[in-house]
Structure 1
Amino acid sequence: MTPIAITSSLLLLFLAAIHVYWGFGGLWPGKNKQELIDLVFGKGDRFPAPFMCLLVAIFLFFFSLLPILWILKTKLSLDGKMIFRLRILLTIVSLIFLLRGLLAYFPFITKQWKPIFVYYTKRIYNPLCISIGLVLLIQILI
């Protein structure tokens, strides 16, 4: 299970880094601000404030530590209460990713998004979120 934990942690770190990049004005995968909004958010004409991008990055960074903490829980001598709290936290984070991944498959949600975002969310963002959510959930069940 260690390779899966490390991979999920690295993936969450990568996502955190992308949010930091956006927080400092980066445009990838777009070529301009509106294209980035269309590709990443799916609607509107305003990009979130840098503070919000950095806040999401902080959460993603924190989330990236959870799988490693779970693997190291015995080496860190965590007591039963801390292990229980870590399990609850991993479950909540897992459910957040699963919810994000599953909600976008419902037409009543996607009808308000730009077609390019719907295309990418169904092929990249949703499967990625579902995969992260499942890996985190499976990790605490094994």
Structure 2
Amino acid sequence: MILIAITLNILLLFLAAIHVYWGFGGLWPGKTKQELIDLVFGKGNQFPTPFMCLFVAIFLALFSFLPIVWTFRIDLGFNSNLVFGFKLILEIVSLIFFLRGIFGYAPFVTKYWKPIFVYYTKRIYNPLCLFIGLGFLVILIV
């Protein structure tokens, strides 16, 4: 369980860092802005604003610490009501990642995306989201 918590922490911090990088104009894994849009967002021709990239990065960074706090039972002064609320937050985060992972396989969703994005979403993004969702769920159950 400790390994899962640390893995989730590192993975989500890495994803947060990538979003910060994009927020400051980074283009990886593309070479041009349109290529990045096609690879990462799947449609359109406008990249999210730096504010939106940083907004997502902040939430990914916050999510990254949830497994650590829960697994190591870091005392944040939680009473029983706050523990229930914390569990609910973990469940919601797990659900968010599960839904992203599942809907990325749905033809009624993927038909609107560029083929290159569908390729990467089915092979990388969806499995990654399902892994993260499962990791949060395992931490809650064990």
TM-score range, shorter chain: over 0.9
Matched residues, number: 142
How far the C-alpha of 1:100 sits from its partner, in A, is 0.4
Structure 2 unaligned segments of length 5 or more: list them: none
Moved more, 45-54 or 72-81: 72-81
Any idea what SS the aligned residue of 1:140 has? helix
How far the C-alpha of 1:72 sits from its partner, in A, is 2.6
Q: Are residues 105 and 69 of structure 1, via their aligned partners in 2, closer, same or farther at CA, if it must alter by over 3 Å?
A: same
How far the C-alpha of 1:81 sits from its partner, in A, is 1.5
Instruction: Write the deviation string for residues 78-107 of structure 1: whole angstroms up to 9, x where unpaired.
Output: 322221111100000000000000001111
Match for residue 73 of structure 1? 73
How far the C-alpha of 1:76 sits from its partner, in A, is 4.7
User: In angstroms, what is the RMSD of aligned CA positions?
Assistant: 1.1
Any idea what SS the aligned residue of 2:47 has? coil
Task: Letter of the 2:24 partner, please give it.
Answer: F
TM-score, normalised with respect to structure 2: 0.96
Identical counterparts, % of pairs: 66
Alpha-carbon distance between aligned partners in 1 of 2:103 and 2:119, rounded to the nearest angstrom: 14
Match for residue 30 of structure 1? 30
TM-score, normalised with respect to structure 1: 0.96
Structure 1 unaligned segments of length 5 or more: list them: none
Match for residue 107 of structure 1? 107
Match for residue 43 of structure 2? 43
Task: Letter of the 2:112 partner, please give it.
Answer: Q
How far the C-alpha of 1:137 sits from its partner, in A, is 0.8
Alpha-carbon distance between aligned partners in 2 of 1:135 and 1:79, rounded to the nearest angstrom: 25
